[in-house]
Amino acid sequence: MRILQVVPALNTGGVEQGCIDIAKALIMRGHPALIVSSGGRLTGSLNEMGATHFQLPVHSKNPLRILMNAFTLAKLCRQFEVDLIHVRSRAPAWTCWLLQKCWGIPYLSTFHGQYGHHSRLKRLYNSAMLRGRACIAVSDFIAHHINLTYASLLNQGANSSEQLAHKPAIIKILRGINLDYFAIEKVDNLVKESLIKRWQLDVNEPLLILPGRLTRLKGHQLVIDALAGLPRTTKYLCLFIGPTKTNDHYLKELKKSIQQKGLSDKIKFVGDCDHMREAYALSDLVISASTKPESFGRIAVEAQAMGCTVLASKHGGSEETIAPNNAWGLFEPNSSQALTQTLSLALQLPPTCNKNPKDAALQTRDFIQKSFDTKRMEKETLALYAKLIKQSK
């Protein structure tokens, strides 16, 4: 089968990682892997694995650009005899809708987030994700959100001008991570040592990390406020891991807050990290402090696979991805006081399993292995591809 994946860009994130995982799965099974994006730091990974990448400004929301992209992609689809398009974002989904409507090339989408949906206009814009042959929901939370928010669109029995021409199948396929990679026994000790030197870590001091893009959604300010609530004598170092050049204004705002609260020696911005497995192995606590419900939460799943203790906002996908024995680490969203209390409890616990293996860590990994293995995600996604291609013939 010939699948064309379309993503806005190929930088760090769950959307991009999902695209790469499926590209690998296609290649391993003898199928070509075709990807269209506006480019990004991960395009090199695609080339190395034998995928074919085409650069096109599919991230653009400009209606004229969306139309022009449709003509370019139509030529590409004919050239490579594409059977099905898999799109993962709204603007390129409208391009794919044009391809389906005008050239008969079917598409499916993956609904990766809630998106803004409070106005009718926004819901109409988002509806491009529901106009294909199927829509993948990445969690129970997102499946429920789709059925609740877009009920009028999905209800074919309703006499509504908003009704979709084709009711898509809403298929839940949980996201997955590479459990062969995220495993304690695979940790590279040389890389660990290099991170210790690079970040100037004291291995006898508890290490907290908050990985993620520098956006308000990730809750950096919430973590700063929560840490300020701990006694000054509390020993720890907190690292904010992620690219810092994407939002200079927000970075300056956070640094000012850290300084005002007297936490300059407690919190560091260390930039992006290409060795998250080793970063997790060094960590005592991993924090996921999203201020809005996230659809999945890849960081929490990766960290738990590595046996880390995870503290996460109790909403969205986190309520599905946190292992039962880790559920005490869920805290009230947007409450720095609640996070302070949870941090205080967590910092009183013995060292986590990645430094001293315990039964609890094995339970956590077993939970992740049963539900969030990328092999399962790949198998279910490719099976859906095959089914939709068969239906389209």
pLDDT digits (tens, 9 = 90+) for 49-65: 999 999 999 999 999 99
Max CA separation in the chain (angstroms): 68
Report the predicted TM-score, pTM, of the whole model to 2 decimal places. 0.83
Residue 344: count other Cβ atoms within 10 Å of its Cβ.
Answer: 14
Shared domain for 123 and 268, answered yes or no, is no
The strand ranges marked E within 278-336 are 285-288, 309-313, 330-331
> What secondary structure does DSSP assign to 74-94, as a single string?
HHHHHHTT--EEEE-SHHHHH
End-to-end CA distance of the chain: 13
pLDDT > 90: what percent of the chain? 71
Clarify whether residues 318 and 270 are in a common domain. yes
> Per residue in 315-363, pLDDT tens?
988 899 999 988 999 999 999 999 999 999 999 855 444 444 456 677 8
Mean per-residue pLDDT for 124-147? 92
Same domain, 225 and 170: no
Range of the domain at 31: 3-176+373-392
Whether residues 212 and 144 fall in one domain = no
Beta bridge partners of 85: 4, 107
* Residue 251, amino acid: L
Give the residue from 254, 252, 217, 258 showing the smallest Cα distance to 237. 258
Closest CA to 380 of 131, 83, 32, 22: 22
- Residues 219, 364, single domain; the answer is yes
Specify the residue for token string 């170092």.
Answer: 237
Confidence at 126, pLDDT banded by 50, 70, 90: very high
Q: Do 210 and 308 belong to one domain?
A: yes
CA Rg value for the chain: 22
Domain match, 147 and 287 both: no
pLDDT for 78 equals: 95
What digits encode the pLDDT tens for the residues 246-302? Answer: 668 899 999 999 999 999 999 999 998 989 999 999 999 999 999 998 888 889 999
Pair (131, 241) in one structural domain: no
Read off the tokens for 160.
């509504």
Please report the pLDDT score of residue 160 as a whole number: 47
> Are 223 and 92 part of one and the same domain?
no
Distances (CA, A) of 315 to 146, 148, 251, 296, 323: 16, 17, 26, 10, 14
Cα 295 from Cα 318, distance rounded (Å): 8
Rounded to whole angstroms, the Cα distance separating 153 from 147 reads 9
Residues 39 and 164 in one domain: yes
Tokens of 77: 């689809």
- pLDDT classification of 93: cutoffs 50, 70, 90: very high
What are the tens digits of pLDDT across the range 173-205?
Answer: 999 999 999 999 999 999 999 999 999 999 899
**Are residue 14 and residue 50 in the same domain, yes or no?**
yes
Same domain, yes or no, for 165 and 249?
Answer: no
What's the CATH code of the domain at 351?
3.40.50.2000
Q: What's the structural domain count of the chain? A: 2
